[in-house]
Amino acid sequence: MHPDLQLEGVQLSVGGRTLFEPLHARVHGGQCLTVMGASGCGKSSLLAFVAGTLDPAFVAQGSVQVGDRVLNGLPPERRRLGILFQDDLLFPHLSVGDNLAFALPAAVRPPALRRQQIDAALASAGLAGFARRDPATLSGGQRARVALMRTLLAQPLALLLDEPFSKLDTALRADFRRFVFEHARSRALPVLLVSHDEADAAAAGGSVIELGVGAA
């Protein structure tokens, strides 16, 4: 069971303009909090703040915690938060298998065991035998699934989803959504999803926060 992801009084402002009211939330392992709002409401910036990649032009208040660990001030590489973006962002110079190897912690040794875990991850994504493939030869849905497996292999403590379904076409979107939430649930990961699509929130099945209501 993973520790909770907690936001305490999180508020962002840019150029003296406050983007939203202070945000309090606690996401248990295996649950999903969906943050909704029109574009420009600050939902992606909220995610960047949690991930530690917020543009310095923003002023942020409040704290982010995973369990007892306060993440504020930590560089992104030490937060152990997995992120999925709109684009799959598979590294084009690496094979599918090497993309996954990049994510797998070094403690997983020897090479034979690493390969075994990579193959298992691919199999669980319905992509058995794809390790040597060039990511560019995969379909959009396949790439999205590899991106999720890559994120999960790094053994994150929580999952951040930055509209990862919005660029997939409608048929794929429902499939991939189900795929992501099943994996998150089976690993009992707390999930923070930002989206402007009601269907995402419905599929996530957790609580929903609407941003930008009240603050103009």
Partner 1 sequence: MGQAHDALSSRLGDRLDEDSSDGLSDRFRAASLLRWAPAITLAAFLLPIAAGLAGTLLPAMGWLPALGANSFSLAAWHTLFQAPGFVSAWQLTLFTGLLSTLLSLLLALGVVAFLHQRPAARRLGEWMAPMLAMPHSALAIGFAFLILPSGWLSRAVSPTLTGWELPPDVSTVGHPSGWPLVAALLLKEVPYLVLMTLGALNQINAAAQLAVARSLGYGPAQAWFLVVLPQVYRQIRLPVCAVLAFSLSVVDVALILGPSNPPTLAVLAVRWFADPDTRWVFPAAAAATLLMLTVLGSLLLWRGLEVLARQWLLHRTRQGVRSARSAVAAGLATALAAALLGAAATSMLALALWSVALQWRWPAFLPSAWTWDNWWRQASSLVPPTVTTLALAAVSTLLALVLVLACLENEVRRRPSGRAASGDPGIAGRRALWLLYVPLLLPQVAFLFGLQVLLVRVGADGNFWAVVWAHLMFVLPYLFLSLADPWRAFDPRYTRTALSLGASHWRVFWRVKLPILLRPVLLSSAVAFAVSVGLYLPTLFAGAGRIATLTTEAVTLSSGADRRVIATWAILQAAFPLLVYALAAALPRWLYRHRQGLAP
Distances (CA, A) of 100 to 76, 104, 133, 190: 19, 6, 12, 22
Site for partner 1 in 113-172 (CB under 8 A): 114, 150-151, 154, 156
Of the candidate residues 80, 133, 187, 196, the single one contacting partner 1 (CB under 8 A)? 80
**Buried-exposed string 69-90: b where 16+ CB fall within 10 A, e elsewhere:** eebbeeeeeebebbbbbeebeb
Which of 79/145 has CB closer to partner 1?
79
Residue 55 lies near partner 1 (rule: CB under 8 A): no
Between CA 118 and CA 137 the distance in angstroms is 19
91 or 178, CB closer to partner 1? 91
Please name the residue ranges forming H helices in the chain.
43-51, 96-103, 111-124, 140-153, 170-186, 198-204
Provide, rounded to whole angstroms, the least separation between the CB of residue 158 and partner 1: 11
Specify the residue, 143 or 201, whose C-beta has the smaller distance to partner 1: 143
66, 71, 101, 201: residue in contact with partner 1 (rule CB under 8 A): 101
Q: What is the DSSP letter of 4?
A: P
From the list 49-57, 163-171, 177-185, 194-202, the region that binds partner 1 by CB under 8 A is 49-57
Tokens of 132: 């040597």
| Binding range to partner 1, per CB under 8 A, among 22-30, 34-42, 98-106, 126-134 | 98-106
**What angle (nearest 5°) sits at the alpha carbon of residue 104, between those of residues 102 and 110?**
105
Going by their DSSP bridges, the two strands 208-210 and 32-36 should be labelled as parallel
Q: Which chain residues interact with partner 1 by CB under 8 A? A: 51-53, 56, 75-83, 85, 87, 89, 91-94, 98, 101-106, 108, 111, 114, 150-151, 154, 156
